């Protein structure tokens, strides 16, 4: 099995390596500090302090108040909880607006509401993956309960103009949920200035473990708990707190805040080098996404006339980890819903590869990818029946 020493990990939008500092911070809670924060005794009760610190750390990276942070089990739960609360607290409003390029956690909730008789407006995107603000404004109705939109797209890195979205949505008095799972730690988010009602984040995208997330709920927003039961999280999310992971998420947010600059300069520079290197060395490629508004770590590039899974498995031979929006990697038989919504032509859509970097990547790793990729693509093109149609 390949381990961290011999892989070049460029799949950080799928999940990230847990930062060593995070592991270290979590360990005591797996060992001697096993108490339950809800207990009356000091031994358990002291865990409350750790949770409070973590809550401050998470609030810190968002410009939020600690009381506005609810710990959840993952990004998907945060998304679901926001939709649940927004619709349950406004039962008379039966219309929701979202986009066609959301993560499945949001798409699925939209389809679920449609089955229940709700009307959902699915905003389309242009060829860069951008929404139209005019279209958004036109879609808002008196019975709109919620607008839900991702901050940045996990496949292409395209960043939506959330500040403008918030302005429009709030001017109509409608609630706004933002899936910021891919953006936290990479984009500066200041909720003290951004009028967002709900915001979802997930630990494993920012060097905390998988299976921990948080939901921001703006103070004053009426809330109904999605997970019902005990009084944990001030009655907003039942279930005995996952103390070690909460500590880990807090630590990861603290680290992310201090590494944000690095993420936006150093990581962005590596990504740009990768993009330039590949474009220069390989003909017939196309960048997917909005290069002017894009996460600093993400490069989604399509290689015409070759198929994504074949590219990934070839890369795998070199220990290079990436992902693809190809149909063959998704099990759905159709290329990614995001690329399709963008109208990426089939000859490109099937051959997309997403490289997503992190602060742990090095220049040497990037050069290695630039070195091996041209051969991989040209070998696959040699056996592709469509390569003959590539324009000279």
Partner 1 sequence: MWEYTETVRDHFLHPRNAGVLEDANVIGEAGSLACGDALKLMLKVNEQGIIEDAKFQTFGCASAIASSSALTELIKGKHMDEAAKLTNKEIAEYLGGLPKEKMHCSVMGEEALEDAVRHWKGLPSKAHAEEGRLVCKCFGVTDLQIIKVAKENNLTTVEEVTDFIKAGGACGSCKDDIQSILDKLHSMEKPLQEIRPVPRMTNVQRMQKVMTIINEDIAPRLALDGGSIELVDVDGTTVVVALRGACSGCSASQLTLKNLVEKTLREQVDSAINVVEA
Ligand X SMILES: Cc1ncc(COP(=O)(O)O)c(C=O)c1O
Q: Considering the complex, what minimum distance in angstroms separates the CB of residue 161 from ligand X?
A: 17
Nearer to ligand X, 34 or 112 (CB): 112
CA dist 342 to 222, 294, 376, Å? 35, 15, 26
Using CB under 6 A as the binding rule, whether residue 181 contacts ligand X is answered as yes
- Contact with ligand X (CB under 6 A) among 19, 62, 74, 125: 74
Considering only the stretches 116-124, 126-134, 290-298, 324-332, report the one whose residues sit in contact with partner 1 under the rule CB under 8 A: 324-332
Q: Please indicate whether residue 328 is annotated as part of the active site.
A: yes
**337/92 Cα distance (integer angstroms):** 31
Q: Are the C-beta atoms of 47 and 35 separated by less than 8 Å?
A: yes
Considering only the stretches 17-25, 174-182, 216-224, 230-238, report the one whose residues sit in contact with ligand X under the rule CB under 6 A: 174-182
Using CB under 6 A as the binding rule, whether residue 202 contacts ligand X is answered as yes
Residue 202 binds: one of partner 1, ligand X, none (C-beta under 5 to 8 A by kind):
ligand X
CB-side neighbour CA atoms (13 Å) of 321: 20
Residues facing 280 on adjacent strands = none
Nearer to partner 1, 209 or 308 (CB): 308
Using CB under 8 A as the binding rule, whether residue 326 contacts partner 1 is answered as yes
Distance of CA 138 to the CA centre of its chain: 27
Among 144, 148, 146, CA closest to 160 = 148
Residue 332 binds: one of partner 1, ligand X, none (C-beta under 5 to 8 A by kind):
partner 1
Considering only the stretches 43-51, 75-83, 303-311, 329-337, report the one whose residues sit in contact with ligand X under the rule CB under 6 A: 75-83
Q: Which two tokens stand for residue 152?
A: 């940045």
Sequential DSSP letters for 301-344: EEETTS-HHHHHHHHHHTTEE-B---HHHHTSSS--HHHHHTT-
How many H-runs (helices) and E-runs (strands) does the chain carry? 15, 12
Residue 105 binds: one of partner 1, ligand X, none (C-beta under 5 to 8 A by kind):
ligand X
DSSP 3-state assignment of 115? helix
**Mutual angle of helices 363-382 and 308-317, in 10-degree steps:** 130
Q: Considering the complex, what minimum distance in angstroms separates the CB of residue 211 from ligand X?
A: 7
342-381: contacts with ligand X (CB under 6 A): none
Q: Considering the complex, what minimum distance in angstroms separates the CB of residue 40 from partner 1?
A: 48
Q: Considering the complex, what minimum distance in angstroms separates the CB of residue 295 from ligand X?
A: 11
Sequential DSSP letters for 338-387: HHHHTT--HHHHTTEEEEE--TT--HHHHHHHHHHHHHHHHHHHHT-TTG
**385/338 Cα distance (integer angstroms):** 26
For strand 320-321 and strand 285-288, is the pairing parallel, antiparallel, or unpaired?
Answer: unpaired
Q: Considering the complex, what minimum distance in angstroms separates the CB of residue 347 from ligand X?
A: 26
Using CB under 8 A as the binding rule, whether residue 257 contacts partner 1 is answered as no
Q: Considering the complex, what minimum distance in angstroms separates the CB of residue 150 from ligand X?
A: 5
Using CB under 6 A as the binding rule, whether residue 145 contacts ligand X is answered as no
Considering only the stretches 32-40, 74-82, 129-137, 273-281, report the one whose residues sit in contact with ligand X under the rule CB under 6 A: 74-82
Nearer to ligand X, 179 or 233 (CB): 179
Using CB under 6 A as the binding rule, whether residue 179 contacts ligand X is answered as yes
Sequential DSSP letters for 20-83: HHHHHHHHHHHTT----TT-SSHHHHTHHHHHHHHHHHHHHHHT--GGGEEEES-HHHHHHHHH
**298/287 Cα distance (integer angstroms):** 11
328-387: contacts with partner 1 (CB under 8 A): 328-329, 331-335, 346-347, 350, 382-387
Q: Are the C-beta atoms of 329 and 308 separated by less than 8 Å?
A: yes
**97/123 Cα distance (integer angstroms):** 7
Q: How many CB atoms within 10 Å of residue 14?
A: 15
Binding mask 288-307 for partner 1 (x = CB under 8 A): -----------------xxx
- Contact with partner 1 (CB under 8 A) among 268, 327, 344, 377: 327
Q: Considering the complex, what minimum distance in angstroms separates the CB of residue 62 from partner 1?
A: 34
Using CB under 8 A as the binding rule, whether residue 4 contacts partner 1 is answered as no
Catalytic residue among 74, 253, 285, 328: 328
Mind telling me the catalytic residues?
328
Q: Interface with ligand X by CB under 6 A: which residues?
A: 74-76, 79, 103, 105, 150, 154, 179, 181-182, 202, 204, 213
């Amino acid at each position: 099995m390949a381990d961290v020493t011999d892989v070049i990990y460029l799949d950080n939008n799928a999940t990230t390596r847990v930062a060593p500092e995070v592991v270290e911070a979590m360990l005591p809670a797996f060992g001697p500090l096993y108490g339950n924060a809800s207990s009356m005794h000091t031994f358990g009760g002291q865990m409350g302090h750790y949770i409070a610190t973590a809550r401050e750390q998470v609030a810190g990276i968002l410009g939020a108040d600690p009381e506005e942070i609810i710990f959840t089990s993952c990004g998907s739960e945060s998304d679901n909880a926001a939709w649940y609360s927004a619709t349950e607290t406004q039962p008379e409003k039966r219309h929701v607006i979202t986009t066609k390029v959301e993560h499945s956690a949001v798409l699925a909730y939209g389809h679920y509401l449609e089955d229940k008789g709700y009307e959902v407006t699915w905003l389309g995107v242009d060829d860069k993956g951008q929404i139209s603000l005019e279209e958004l404004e036109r879609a808002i109705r008196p019975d709109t309960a919620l607008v839900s939109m991702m901050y940045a797209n996990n496949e292409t890195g395209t960043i939506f103009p959330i500040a403008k979205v918030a302005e429009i949505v709030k001017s109509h008095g409608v609630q706004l949920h933002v899936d910021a799972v891919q953006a936290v730690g990479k984009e500066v988010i200041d909720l003290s200035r951004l009028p967002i009602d709900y915001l979802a984040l997930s630990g494993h995208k920012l060097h905390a473990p998988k299976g921990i997330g948080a939901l921001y709920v703006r103070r004053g927003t009426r809330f109904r708990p999605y997970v019902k039961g005990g009084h944990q999280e001030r009655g907003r999310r039942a279930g005995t707190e996952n103390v070690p992971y909460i500590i880990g998420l807090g630590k990861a947010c603290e680290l992310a805040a201090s590494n944000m600059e690095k993420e936006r300069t150093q990581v962005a520079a590596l990504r740009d080098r990768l993009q330039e290197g590949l474009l220069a060395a390989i003909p017939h490629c196309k960048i997917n996404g909005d290069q002017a508004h894009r996460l600093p770590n993400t490069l989604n590039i399509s290689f015409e006339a070759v198929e994504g899974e074949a590219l990934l498995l070839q890369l795998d031979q070199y220990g290079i980890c990436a992902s693809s929006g190809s149909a063959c990697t998704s099990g759905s038989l159709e290329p990614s819903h995001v690329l399709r919504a963008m109208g990426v032509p089939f000859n490109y859509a099937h051959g997309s590869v997403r490289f997503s970097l992190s602060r742990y990547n090095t220049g040497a790793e990037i050069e290695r990818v630039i070195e091996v990729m041209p051969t991989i693509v040209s070998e696959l093109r040699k056996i592709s029946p469509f390569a003959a149609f590539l324009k000279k």
